[in-house]
A and B are shown apart, each in its own frame.
Chain A
Amino acid sequence: MLRRLSPIPDVDSNRKQRRISVGSLGSQGLIYAIFVVIIGFFMIFAPNFATATTFADIGRETAVTTIVAVGMTLVIITAEIDLSIGSTVSFTGMMAAILMQSHVGWLPASLASLAIGALIGALNGFVTTYVGVPSFLVTLGTMEIFGGLSQIITGSMPVPVDSVSFGYIFGDNALLGIPIPVWWTLIIVVLGFVLLHRSVFGRWIYATGGNKTAARFSGIQVNRIKMYCFILLGIFAAVGGLILDGRFGAGDPSVGNGMELDAIAATILGGTNLFGGRGTIIGTIIGSIFIGSVSVGLIMLGAGAELQTVVKGAIIIGAVALNKISDKRRV
């Protein structure tokens, strides 16, 4: 029969298509527009918003959220979720602080903290995939467990960190004019980007979340893929815990509270499908910076912490809702 479409695509049209699909700008355009409008609003009404200091502040504020959100993106693309990640940040940070307090060197203490993060991820992944408990429930449970353990072990008191070397590696100093936490964020972002968009593993992540059965029929070990994503997220959370230790000079047992929600919000704002199969690292970063800018902007406008959360919540729902509505129109 007649075939309207040439079977051999020409290179030019490929390029065009690719540019659109990679950033998923096609469907995310509206959220980015809202982002720009809100930034514009702060630039006009918050006097010092448009300065290098502010951008460094935003970078510092969002560093840990972004790091966690990168891992969260991987997990959500496989069609799972991790609510325990705030507790994991607190727990791993606290454990590193306790180890250093008992005169373990900063390096072994940091490595142990990363290992603990990986173990918590492995536990979440194992119970989710091999036992078959929905990840929402599993991680709700581990959120409570590790949040509670952090409080019990420390007696709800911060554990001071006085290692000078640790302070250099994870502290709040600047290197080449860029705060150390931002450097860590860059490392994790690049790692996440390469894994998701450039490695075989990344393709398997999309396949697992996009169509679990077809993935299995293609010889992909779906459970193992999910497990690895949970473990990576656990490790990233530990990196976040270490950064917060360095920044505050102490391991605070409640420092990560609520962070899982910021990370999920950043991921979804960035265009990742909550039910798996779709999402990008770049989108997540934009989502995270979006949320961070709103926080910083509101502080500069003199809003209290309570009002910040209200506005943040409203913006998250509003942006995603607007995007949905415009999506429906297009179809």
Chain B
Amino acid sequence: MDQNVLLEMRGITKKFGESNVLNGVDFVLLSGEVHALLGENGAGKSTLMKILSGVYSLDAGEVRVNDVPRKRFSPAEAMQEGISIVYQDLSLVPELTVADNLFLGIEPRSWGMLRKERIHRAAQGMITEYGFPLKPQMKVGDLSYAQQQMVEILKALSKKAQILVLDEPTASLTVEEEETLFSIINDLRAHGKGIIYISHRMDEVLRVADRITVLRDGINQGTIEKDRATLDLLIQLITGTETTSGSRIAKHHRSTSEIPALEVRELSTIGKLHQATFTLYEGEILGVAGLVGSGRTTLARALFGLERIIGGHIRFKGESYKPQSPAQAIDAGVALIPEQRREQGLFGELSIEDNITMTVLDRFSYLGNLKGLAFVNKRNMLRYSEEKVADLKIACRNVFQKAGELSGGTQQKVILSRWLSKDPKLLIMDDPTAGVDITTKQEIWAIMDNIAQKGTSILFISSDLKELVQVSHRIVVMADGAIIREIDTQIDEISVRRAMQHAMVQ
């Protein structure tokens, strides 16, 4: 087939605050091609797509659509250029029919009245053309997720989309529905459309994609042709293996007195975790490797009282531990640095001072601990937060600055500071350095090492294999909600990667 270049992105660079989210990324999409975009959370995939769809402007680089350069586009202009994104959370009106949804905003009218029969006929024509199992008069709210997804794809096609972005399209599909989707994708490819396919599932990417581009830390790690792509190569690119000189930190040697701090035995939750078993010792940094969807975040949430535990048991500091809420977990001495910094960790509208002191307000009380009614001594609170800001080298105008104005790495330090104030016995960190610049990363690693030395146990989840290997004393590998491998003697990227690969082949 004769393929032409639909989209050319060159040297795309995007900054948020001080950190580079995208750094000189090149990405080319041909007509009649399925081009997969891979990378862990925070690698820059969604930022790249938001630049494509006109939600974000770019700081440097060039976007050419059909060989026409575009410096700035609005989402509306992007749509006119034939760019459509089908998000995981579909944007359909559930109370309207399939036909109504397809023509939402572009309804054929005469004398201001809706031409129902024309909408119906046009919708039927499109459904027939692509052979989807839909009827124009079906109410979207009654359809399955897979059918709704088809409506969304049709809607994109009705707007003459040439470039179609599918964001995690199989995340909510059954196996048979996946097959249907793949045949639809093949069909679109045959129609000469360019498809950008975003997914975390390696096997389906290898199956459906013609080319694969991997992003890590906002940098294109390489674009690979289908024939050259192997599971091993992809995992290597996603998790990173090359060592950057000077970024290695001195790992302290864990004391030989092996006192278990946290013993997790056959822990299961509704949905994700299946009989996860491991032990975390006092003063140990235990790395958790595993791709998105392996159950690593569910494990963190379960230990923090955010999931319903349906099986197994946990012992923490020698006592039985089954937290029902974050408040209980915190009382027991557990802290969580959550995966989604802005949504779950930060009070963006509040000051750095408020963010740091939120969990330890009773310390600044005039009258001892009277729960919420204690009055805070503002001077002590100010002095305390200024000390913390200096300790962690938090870059800010002053402690009254709104936390939402800070860069990602600085925000993470503010959240870390909040939890260090609690002096936790167990610190759970869920991908704490995603989207964080390298200087701040190194500072965070040094802090982790420091508090582990003082006896805090750390459960350290990370997408970055290199980082895991550098910082952790031991590593457990997760897949399908279970711990499938424990690596303690020879910690290197290759053995961890092998274990992950092994899990996926099964």
Contact = CB atoms under 8 A, between A and B. Distances in A.
Interface string A215-259: 111111100010010000000000000000000000000000000
A213 interface: yes
B127 interface: no
B346 A211 contact: yes
Contacts of B336: 217
A206 B347 contact: yes
A5 interface: yes
A221 B327 contact: yes
B376 A211 contact: no
A319 to B, nearest CB: 22
Contact of B347 (A7, A17, A207): A207
A194 B375 contact: yes
B372 A201 contact: yes
A194 B370 CA distance: 15
Interface residues of A, number: 36
Contacts of A3: 395
Interface string B373-392: 11110100010001001100
Interface stretch (B191-199, B287-295, B353-361, B446-454): B353-361
B326 A200 contact: no
B107 interface: no
A221 B346 CA distance: 17
B373 A199 contact: yes
A10 B389 CA distance: 12
B499 interface: no
B359 A211 contact: no
A8 B389 contact: yes
Contacts of A18: 400
Contacts of A5: 395-397
A17 B326 contact: no
A214 B375 contact: no
A108 to B, nearest CB: 26
Interface stretch (B35-43, B205-213, B337-345, B477-485): B337-345
A204 B374 CA distance: 12
Given A1-B437, A200-B371, A219-B359, A206 B350 contact: yes
Interface string A1-22: 1010101111001100110010
B30 interface: no
A228 B343 CA distance: 25
B282 interface: no
A229 to B, nearest CB: 11
A247 to B, nearest CB: 31
A277 interface: yes
Sort chain B's interface into a size bin: 35 or more
Contacts of A228: 372
A125 to B, nearest CB: 15
Contact of A17 (B354, B365, B374, B398): B398
Contacts of A214: 343-347
A10 to B, nearest CB: 8
A249 B418 CA distance: 54
B82 interface: no
Given A200-B365, A201-B373, A210-B350, A7 B390 contact: yes
Contact of A14 (B326, B361, B382, B394): B382
A199 B358 contact: no
Contacts of A277: 347, 349-350
Main secondary structure of the interface of A (DSSP, over half): helix
B306 to A, nearest CB: 8
B79 interface: no
A68 to B, nearest CB: 22
Interface string B398-411: 11110000000000
A200 B362 contact: yes
**Residue with the greatest number of chain B CB neighbours at <10 A, chosen from A206, A218, A220, A278:** A218
B240 interface: no
Interface in B317-334: 325-327, 329-331
A210 B347 contact: yes
A207 B325 CA distance: 17
A198 interface: yes
A98 B218 CA distance: 71
**Residue with the greatest number of chain A CB neighbours at <10 A, chosen from B327, B329, B346, B358:** B358
B488 interface: no
Given A14-B382, A219-B326, A219-B330, A203 B398 contact: no
**Residue with the greatest number of chain B CB neighbours at <10 A, chosen from A10, A216, A217:** A217
A277 B350 CA distance: 8
A217 B343 CA distance: 10
Interface in A276-315: 277-278
B349 A217 contact: no
B390 A8 contact: yes
Contacts of A14: 382, 398-400
B351 interface: yes
Contact of B398 (A13, A206, A211): A13
Contacts of A203: 354, 357-358, 361, 376
Contacts of B115: none
B18 interface: yes
B348 interface: yes
B71 interface: no
B394 A7 contact: yes
Nearest to B358: A218
Contacts of B349: 206, 210-211, 277-278
B439 interface: yes
B326 A217 contact: yes
B373 A200 contact: yes
A18 B401 CA distance: 9
A220 B361 CA distance: 11
A211 to B, nearest CB: 5
B393 interface: yes
A218 B418 contact: yes
Given A7-B390, A200-B373, A206-B354, A213 B359 contact: no
A198 B418 contact: no
**Residue with the greatest number of chain A CB neighbours at <10 A, chosen from B304, B330, B348, B350:** B350
A9 B397 contact: yes
Contacts of A9: 386, 389, 396-399
A243 B2 CA distance: 84
Contacts of B418: 218
Contacts of A220: 327, 358
Given A199-B374, A199-B376, A201-B373, 9 more contacts: A7-B394, A7-B396, A21-B400, A199-B373, A200-B372, A206-B349, A207-B358, A210-B347, A215-B347
Q: Which 10 residue pairs of A and B lie closest in terms of their CB atoms, listed nearest first?
A: A9-B398, A201-B372, A219-B330, A200-B361, A219-B327, A17-B400, A277-B349, A210-B349, A210-B347, A200-B374
Interface of A: 1, 3, 5, 7-10, 13-14, 17-18, 21, 194, 198-201, 203-204, 206-207, 210-211, 213-221, 225, 228, 277-278
18 contacts: A1-B18, A7-B390, A8-B390, A14-B398, A17-B398, A194-B375, A199-B375, A203-B357, A203-B361, A203-B376, A206-B349, A206-B350, A210-B348, A214-B343, A214-B344, A219-B327, A220-B358, A221-B325
